[in-house]
Amino acid sequence: MSEKFKAIVIDNQNEKFTREIQEIDISHLKDGNVLVKIDYSSLNFKDAMILKDGGRIVRKFPFVPGIDFSGTVVESQDDKFKKDDKVILTGFRVGEAYFGGFAQYAKVDANFLIKIPKSLDTHKSMMLGTAGFTALLCSFAVKAKEELLLGEKVKDVLVTGATGGVGSIAIMILSKMGYDVHAVTGKKDKNDYLKDLGAKNIIDRKEFEGESKLLEKGVWDGVVDNVGGAYLTKILAQTKPGGIVALPGNAGGIKINTNCMPFVIRGVKLWGIDSSGSSIKRREFIWNEAAKLIDFSKVQLFTKEVSFTELLDVYPKLLKGELFGRTIVNPNK
């Protein structure tokens, strides 16, 4: 095994932020007890923020970002994993506090990893990545209305930020679960794309702008809201009694101006989705369910594979809302 490998390294010296492809020595990987040869990583919104300027997330420099990856175990000091095991990592502050997946190798804590189910492989798992894992968590949160809480059957589900990675995959999953999916987007040229994923109805995001009443007509049994901010106020007011709003993102802002009525009068549940901190048991369940709910031939149509060089060119587009679908990072390309 070569002692050096390629990685994207960000640095911030004398208030000058840089990002570049470097060769670094494997001895610099000091975290964890399992060494993984990375096959694929993926580009997520948080990754783009970190690549831009650290995103007020990374505190130590120089640093290797990348919040997820899939690959093959090279060395393990933990009995849970052995050489040649195929593994997935998402979250656990890897790519934020620990060297991450935008590299050819990573060394991480064994407790951060799960083995890839036989129904998946390293490529498919990063076609989903953190976004797909989050979409699965959101979809099962919505499903909890009828299964865990024993409420009325879920029928109408709203998905905001529909053309993003989480939104696109959530539409596919929720449709497969048998729900009528209503996709919210400002990109009119993506209507056919969203319907092909399984959306029954397309709604212009402008309909969620402006003032909201304390309560509006109940329309949604469940919601996957990737936007947050002002949109969430109106969404909560429109959610039916016992409905669940899964909130995995805040692209529209971190503050909401809401009231107690949806929660007290209608029993609406606002379910925060922290994909980074999910338990290993929950991760194993979710990843084992993925192949049953995902049409990978469709995911492939909105997935682009990039090299490190291409990644550094494309990440700003994600921050500007100009990128849709999934971007897989191949460190060996």
User: Tens-of-pLDDT digits for all 333 residues of the chain?
Assistant: 668 999 999 999 888 999 999 999 999 999 999 999 999 999 998 999 999 999 999 999 999 999 999 999 999 999 999 999 999 999 999 999 999 999 999 999 999 999 999 999 999 999 999 999 999 999 999 999 999 888 889 999 999 999 888 999 999 999 999 999 999 998 888 999 999 999 999 999 999 888 888 899 999 999 999 998 888 999 999 999 999 999 998 877 888 888 899 999 999 999 999 999 899 999 999 999 999 999 999 999 989 999 999 999 999 999 888 887 899 999 999
Pick the CATH number of 4-116+302-329 from 3.40.50.300, 3.10.28.10, 2.60.120.200, 3.90.180.10: 3.90.180.10
| Residue 5 host element (H or E) | strand 4-13
In this structure, the number of other CB atoms found within 10 A of the CB of residue 301 comes to 12
CATH superfamily to which 131-275 belongs: NAD(P)-binding Rossmann-like Domain (3.40.50.720)
Neighbours of 211 (CB within 10 A): 8
- CATH 3.40.50.720: which residues of the chain? 131-275
d(CA 145, CA 268): 10
CB 3 within 8 A of CB 29: no
Half-sphere exposure of residue 230, counting CA atoms within 13 Å on the CB side? 8
